[in-house]
Structure 1
Amino acid sequence: MFIELSEMGSAVIVDPAMRKLQQEGEAELYFVIFKNNVKSLNILNTIPAGNIFTMDPGNFYTLLKDIIRFIAWCRAKKITTVIDLELFSRFTALLSFFSGALHRIGFASYHDEGLYRANLINRPVRYNAHVHIAVNFVSLVNKALDRYSTPYATPPVSKDELKLTQAAVESKALTAVQEKIRNLYPAWNGEAIVLLNANASDLLPQRRWPQENFAAAARELLASFHNVLIIATGAAAEKEYVQQVVNKVGHEKCVNSAGIFLFEELVPLYTLSTCMLTNDSGPAHFASVTPLKIFVLFGPETPALYGPLGNAEPFYLGLPCSPCVSAANHRKTSCTDRPCITGIQPAWVSARLRQYLTEKGASVRQYPDQVLFPQFPGSRIFINE
């Protein structure tokens, strides 16, 4: 049983590790997650619906009731091993203990700084803050497979072990999404679709690239290409925020789709699109199960640890203060200026996107060659390298 309550992106990143355990350990997989995040498990359907336990964190009483249900559920399912994916969460460590499982695997600080979780986790794995989280997840699975006996994850993890399975997309789902695109922009006739995901989780608003920067990059693309349609995406609750970006773009070929596409329609939308520009947030990971080219803006966190596993390319300045949030500081920062994210210039971003779209055959308008691709001075880290 895997426990990952609050991170939708991590529910995708852990998929290669889960499949490894399923195949090499012949294990039946279960998963525990908050109910408002459970849709992230439906993207690849690695976990059968009947093996998913959801918890409601709405208030103390609903959470307490679900903890009691959880204890009974674990015993009914005869859970033998728990893998806690959370970074030093005492709550999930308690859930692991309450599960009654004989083997409770999770991250431990060991000689490093970090939250003490006593023997609630009885098969600890030292969390390595210098390797990608996907590598850490595979190391937890290697512990479950008895590939090493100490808290130090010595077995190497190959690139092949980090490859995400591609999501299956039905033709009727593609047709439904195409119809919604035409409803948003009736003149759409197969033009290249560029997605903008301008929002990010309220848990870490420092990750948001400014609205005016998204708008400036979008205007550059629309001024450069004849056959590009920009679709700004988001949840229904983000509609007003997304509309502000669209208004700043001020072009008929930039439309607001917040709340239009169901979560289940995101993968078909990503499949139909050419590329996406996004903050460091869930959609970057959801899109990784498709061939979509993903350009991700990183600020207070680093792509070296949390970069999407798909066809992703980050924009990351790598300032001396970066990254400023980590498992060791509970992902908290007091920085309000945010030069790590605001310092990424729209001209750098739009230039790279123009280059990519040109390579993909988009029709280019005329402009001086010498200003087409200004050099981005930051570090572009490719996660697969």
Structure 2
Amino acid sequence: MRRLDRFCGMPACLLLTALRRVRGLVRGQDRHGRQAVRRVLFVQLAESGSMVLADPAMRDLATRSGAQLYCLTFAHNRASLAITGTVPEAHVFTIRTGSAREILGDAGRFLRWVRRTRIDAIVDLELFSCLTAVLCLLTGVARRVGFHRFDGAGLYRGDLYSHPVAFNPQLHMAQNYLLLVEALFGVATPPAPRVPTAALEPRVHRRAISAVELDAVRKRLADCLPPGAEANERLVLVNANASALLPQRRWPQEHFVALVRSVLEHFADVRVLLIGAAEDGATTGAIAAQLADSRCVDVAGRFALGELPALFSLSAVMVSNDSGPAHFAAVTPLPVIVLFGPETPVLFRPLGVATVLSAGLACSPCVNAGNQRRSRCADNQCMQRISVDEVFAALCPVLEAPVVPSGLACPNDLREAAGV
């Protein structure tokens, strides 16, 4: 995606910006500024956790306008979008990422799909992609909202939006997404809507987990756990994985081993599940092998992404690197302890019942919107210096709190137990 942006996206943005100005297309945008929106497309390609962070903006737009919601995303992120359940399955268009040919071919089909669907407004949630800016313009949709760097740092994306908005690094990412929605309804937008920060309060909709979903996950748990597992055991989820695109986000494997060992030693009624996708099996398998304890079970690849909300509802707490599962938990009352290093919780703190831990080093965060989330760091001290004792101390108040029956947890009780 970065190579396509560099060699195709940026030149295309430059050329289309020049053509747009020469042809005077900017003069036509006001004709559409006050028309009602009925079908709005959100563009969110690469970040699975950002699907949850964008959900308050999507719901806010639907509530205020009554519009139908659509989404463009990468094929491998389709299941992540379904976690919140806000956008109907039939309203999602996916782009495959196996090769440049697939990306460009699907992009062409996307342009035809937009015209058939009669989309009348687009909200581009991407920070770093030139190609999404180009795609948005080529759709022919008049009302297009997206982030623009103006005089700040960031990738050159040309002047391709009817409603450009400056990204604000002092606001949470979910609040920045809400600003895009505000801009869609505004008249004079650039560089950003003039709204009070207090009005940008992101709220994630809690998923209603059905009895059928819970029973299916309980059955799968029974298949994963060893014979003799106690029915009243509390489940502690550990997500030791993070995207290979940013390995600096990983807390050291030996730290996870020491943490799980302490949990098992201090809490006799707890069973630890090492969660992850099938490709995370090397990490979870190594942790389980080092512990060699039947109360620590490697379940990587055993639960589909769509089953995670039910699994979270049946669990007591989760410890996670800064990655997708920490954000997915926001649709449930599950308390989450999230470890931050190369990215900042100011922007990316999960919206659920989250306790954030960080070493607070001056070199952190080292990845941001200005550098397209690139970092040359090969020694992530920002993660290594988060101590096992510190994480365990954050876990104890949750595990020492009165036990609430699985699947019936009270959000307020759990929030107090998590110290947030």
What TM-score comes out, normalization by structure 1 length? 0.91
**1:326 maps to which residue?**
368
Q: For structure 1, which segment, 230-239 or 173-182, has the greater mean C-alpha deviation from structure 2 after superposition?
A: 173-182
Q: Deviations over 1:267-289 (max 9, x none)?
A: 10000000000000000011110
What is the CA–CA distance in structure 1 between the aligned matches of 2:188 and 2:262, rounded to whole Å?
Answer: 52
**1:260 maps to which residue?**
302
Q: Deviations over 1:352-374 (max 9, x none)?
A: 21232112449xxxxxxxxxxxx
Contact persistence 2:166–2:192 (CA under 8 A) = yes
Alignment of 1:73-152 (within 5 A): 73-146=113-186, 148-152=188-192
1:5 paired residue among 41, 45, 70 = 45
1:358 paired residue among 392, 400, 417 = 400
Q: Deviations over 1:200-232 (max 9, x none)?
A: 001100000011101100100110011001000
Q: Deviations over 1:143-190 (max 9, x none)?
A: 011175332232124478311000121112111211222222231312
How far residue 322 of structure 1 moved from its aligned partner, in angstroms, is: 1.1
SS in 1 for 2:260: helix
How far residue 250 of structure 1 moved from its aligned partner, in angstroms, is: 2.3
Q: 1:188 to 1:180 in 2, by over 3 A?
A: farther
**Gapped regions of structure 1 (runs ≥ 5):** 363-383
Contact persistence 2:164–2:189 (CA under 8 A) = no
What is the CA–CA distance in structure 1 between the aligned matches of 2:202 and 2:187, rounded to whole Å?
Answer: 17
What is the CA–CA distance in structure 2 between the aligned matches of 1:288 and 1:340, rounded to whole Å?
Answer: 25
SS in 2 for 1:24: helix
What is the CA–CA distance in structure 2 between the aligned matches of 1:251 and 1:86, rounded to whole Å?
Answer: 43
What is the CA–CA distance in structure 2 between the aligned matches of 1:157 and 1:148, rounded to whole Å?
Answer: 18
Which amino acid in structure 2 is aligned with residue 340 of structure 1? C
Aligned residues: 364
**1:286 maps to which residue?**
328
SS in 1 for 2:68: coil
Contact persistence 1:4–1:85 (CA under 8 A) = yes
**1:377 maps to which residue?**
none
Contact persistence 1:298–1:316 (CA under 8 A) = yes
What is the CA–CA distance in structure 1 between the aligned matches of 2:291 and 2:393, rounded to whole Å?
Answer: 17
Which amino acid in structure 2 is aligned with residue 263 of structure 1? L
Alignment of 1:193-342 (within 5 A): 193-342=235-384
**1:178 maps to which residue?**
218
Which amino acid in structure 1 is aligned with residue 267 of structure 2? F
SS in 1 for 2:194: coil
**2:387 maps to which residue?**
345
Contact persistence 1:88–1:107 (CA under 8 A) = no
Root mean square deviation, CA, Å: 1.6
Contact persistence 2:44–2:72 (CA under 8 A) = yes
What is the CA–CA distance in structure 2 between the aligned matches of 1:132 and 1:110, rounded to whole Å?
Answer: 19
What TM-score comes out, normalization by structure 2 length? 0.84
Contact persistence 2:338–2:357 (CA under 8 A) = yes
Which amino acid in structure 2 is aligned with residue 211 of structure 1? Q
